[in-house]
Structure 1
Amino acid sequence: MSVDTFGEAPDAPAGRSGGSGRSVDAAVAAGEAVLAHRFGSTITLAEPEVLTGSGPATVVRARIASSPFGLPRTLVIKHYPAARPGLPDPFAQEAVSYQLFTALSAEDRMCPELLAHHGPERVLVIEDLGRAPTLEDKLRGSDARVAERSLLSWARSLGRMHATTAGREADFDALLRRLGGPVKQKKQTTAAPRELPDLLAELGVAMPAEVREFADHAWEQAPAGTYRAFSPVDLSPDNNLVTDSGVRFLDFERGQVRDALIDAAHLRVPFGSGADPQALPAGMCEAMIAVWRAEVSAIWPALADTDTLSVLLLDHQFALVCLRTWDCLAAGCEMVAALVTWWRDLAADATRAGEHRLAGYADDVAAALDSRFGPGLALPLYPAFR
């Protein structure tokens, strides 16, 4: 099982995007150079505004001060530092991801358009989607209906992303090869499958042989699934803009082609990769899955069958919850309320799928976690739903 299968970032690049005066000037200069190369004429940028983020790039919004072309009024520049030897290159991942989508029609492009890029300068110039709110903003707002519509739009955009990129792994690999990136990244394995049963046994919950077999199958299925499509990997709500045309994804620094059901499992464990996940109201997760399935079932007809999809999602959901639990218990994190909630949800989903031994085990784990670290632990709802 690879650490990054479910969105973890082993050896994540140091630092955060932002910018000193020098780095902003360098980003603007690189942006002007790549635009001049792309369009064959001088394009002057002005009024740079630093946009913060979690990646290594300096990200700047700039106004086009002068240009002989009909370019948009503003654009966004992402300027990357040198790659770190032996690690995946976030510039290559993001550049290739945007290239993959730029070849699609505007209707099928679930992200900003790539306007220009240059490998040696390690710079991207992309469409500016403006000051639209993020999905995080909607979830932490005060309007439940707006938050619900935004979540369904997010699930729809995720499904459209999967449907339009299914079968394009060879294209992604070819583009990555042109930028000099490794087509098949070396995966860093995790000790979670080996260590988690012992960590839970210390809480008084032994994993039955039947559940261990289910777990082994889930760990094997997660990275090797057949429903392969592009994934942004980082599914945090602050990486999605809620626009008039629907939710649009940002930040593809870890973009890759993988089993789309890994992303779909995050619809049952909403924003489980984030630093501060909270809960959604009853029925919301299944509503998002239904919207996602409506987008992908034409490409993958087998997923139109409710029972088939339920079985596949349960595998990935179980592996995801196990990985998050191992992360937390091994590192001593403070997300135990999230773990309790996710194990309870897993128990309910396993019961609906007829996996009663797994459901019983999940209930026992939730109770043991609550007894050790609680009592009364549960994720609060996002503010919009309180």
Structure 2
Amino acid sequence: MNEIIRAAERVLATRLSDPVDLGGSSRSSVLRCRTADGRSVVVKAYTGGRDALRGFTAEAAGLSLGLAGPAVLGVDREVPLLVLEDLGDALTLADVLLGDDPKAAEEGLLAWAGGLGRLAARSVDRRAELGRLWGRYDRGLPTWADEPWIERNAAQFPGVLEAAGVAVPAGLPEELARIGTAGREEYPAFSPGDTCPDNNLLTPQGLRLLDFEAADYHSVFLTAAYCRMPFASCWCVFALPAGAARRTEAAYRAEVVPVYPALAEDAVWEDGMRRAVAVWTVNATLRMLPRTVEDGPMHRTRRPVATRRQVLRHRWETAARLDGLPAFTETMRSLLREVAGGWRVDPLPGYPCFERDGAAHDG
């Protein structure tokens, strides 16, 4: 901690005091400190390793665009380290979804979706600027957009199925190749990368975003799928009421249609959404299936929380209903029957905020 504070003091050219550990992750340490003139700032220092270093570059470049998130007050490329505006202790979207006020939760969902949509729309013509910023903070690693994670997942998926005792149906590799186009140059826009509920502050000034470690440009469908699934790669996953899910997705779509008018066509939107849901379902299966040998909670400390088996089964149930992907949906049904069929877990419950007054059953 002392080394981090000294490095941040050099960046700001001022003394820092009263450090408070905000947690961070295996890739970073995050401190809240007081400056000599009484301001509060957040210091984020990154560990070594490929993911941490690329996370630093993505976060420094993404935040420096100034489209969302805290302002960047200083950068040390060598440590590496960021000093950021302190956004305070506002409630997150996760807090209201796990709370007891359905009105506050739906308002939070709409603020989240609308804010992400506006961010996407404002970013469409700034991709070259992000590339220049990436070069400024580059630590010798490819951008997330240059990392072929969707294609890599598609190549690994049949082997994971076979290891689980699930037959690979004819036509699945070809469908996976077509599904992957949803993630690349199809209506691209900027995203912080990790738009999960605990990374979204609901402040009096509106939505403020945290965690830009995976920031880059990708298809708007990959972000919109978070509304439908919901929250494709997150721990805070329960079932959304159908009406709330539709309204949330519509709020995001309304913001991106002005910059991509083709997305007003339902056929275009639905085709992109079904492929994005499939992309995230493959990702969830690869990431979570090996960890379901012994079930456990999706988060180490937060409660209430679903289990890994509950969430993964919900992902497969959602994907099994997709239209136009016969081999993929057959695969999902096989996983439900041959893998999840042996799990002794309850169905994924609704978000607590909606369950308490029956709102989980709205239309």
Q: Is the 8 A contact 2:169 2:330 kept in 1?
A: no
| 1:128-139 equivalent positions in 2, closer than 5 A | 128-139=86-97
Distance change >3 Å, CA 121–CA 373, structure 1 → 2: closer
| Superposed displacement of residue 276, structure 1 | 5.0
| Superposed displacement of residue 120, structure 1 | 3.4
Unpaired stretches in structure 1, ≥5 consecutive residues: 1-22, 37-42, 68-72, 102-108
Counterpart for residue 58 of structure 2: 93
Distance change >3 Å, CA 323–CA 202, structure 1 → 2: same
For residue 65 of structure 2, give the secondary structure of its aligned residue in structure 1.
helix
| 1:196-345 equivalent positions in 2, closer than 5 A | 196-197=157-158, 199-200=160-161, 206=167, 208-209=169-170, 213-219=174-180, 221-332=181-292, 334=295, 335-345=308-318
Q: Is the 8 A contact 1:196 1:322 kept in 2?
A: yes
Distance change >3 Å, CA 337–CA 79, structure 1 → 2: closer
Distance change >3 Å, CA 373–CA 129, structure 1 → 2: same
For residues 235 and 80 of structure 1, the distance between their equivalents in structure 2, rounded to whole angstroms, comes to 20
Residue identity matched to 1:100: L
Structure 2 residue 29 is matched with structure 1 residue 58: yes
For residue 59 of structure 1, give the secondary structure of its aligned residue in structure 2.
strand
The C-alpha deviation readout for 1:194-248, integer Å capped at 9, x for no partner, is: 45446556778655445554333103x1442332222222222211111112221
371, 374, 379: which one aligns with 2:341: 371
31, 50, 53: which one aligns with 2:8: 31
TM-score by length of 2: 0.82
For residues 110 and 187 of structure 1, the distance between their equivalents in structure 2, rounded to whole angstroms, comes to 23
Counterpart for residue 106 of structure 1: none
Structure 2 residue 132 is matched with structure 1 residue 174: yes
Counterpart for residue 106 of structure 2: 148
Unpaired stretches in structure 2, ≥5 consecutive residues: 296-307, 356-363
Distance change >3 Å, CA 342–CA 332, structure 1 → 2: closer
| Superposed displacement of residue 379, structure 1 | 1.2
| Superposed displacement of residue 181, structure 1 | 3.5
| Superposed displacement of residue 137, structure 1 | 1.0
Counterpart for residue 45 of structure 2: 79
For residues 86 and 205 of structure 1, the distance between their equivalents in structure 2, rounded to whole angstroms, comes to 32
Q: Is the 8 A contact 1:151 1:288 kept in 2?
A: yes
Q: Is the 8 A contact 1:55 1:253 kept in 2?
A: no
CA RMSD of aligned residues (A): 2.9
| Superposed displacement of residue 192, structure 1 | 4.1
For residues 142 and 320 of structure 2, the distance between their equivalents in structure 1, rounded to whole angstroms, comes to 35
Q: Is the 8 A contact 1:192 1:323 kept in 2?
A: yes
Counterpart for residue 111 of structure 1: 69
| Superposed displacement of residue 315, structure 1 | 0.7
Distance change >3 Å, CA 125–CA 287, structure 1 → 2: same
For residues 248 and 80 of structure 2, the distance between their equivalents in structure 1, rounded to whole angstroms, comes to 37
Structure 2 residue 355 is matched with structure 1 residue 382: no
The C-alpha deviation readout for 1:117-175, integer Å capped at 9, x for no partner, is: 23234332211111101111111111111111111111111111211111322111111
Q: Is the 8 A contact 1:336 1:369 kept in 2?
A: no
Q: Is the 8 A contact 1:340 1:377 kept in 2?
A: no
Q: Is the 8 A contact 1:167 1:228 kept in 2?
A: no
TM-score by length of 1: 0.78
| Superposed displacement of residue 32, structure 1 | 2.5
Counterpart for residue 6 of structure 1: none
Distance change >3 Å, CA 116–CA 293, structure 1 → 2: same
For residues 152 and 330 of structure 1, the distance between their equivalents in structure 2, rounded to whole angstroms, comes to 34
Distance change >3 Å, CA 194–CA 372, structure 1 → 2: farther
Q: Is the 8 A contact 2:175 2:327 kept in 1?
A: no
Distance change >3 Å, CA 243–CA 317, structure 1 → 2: same
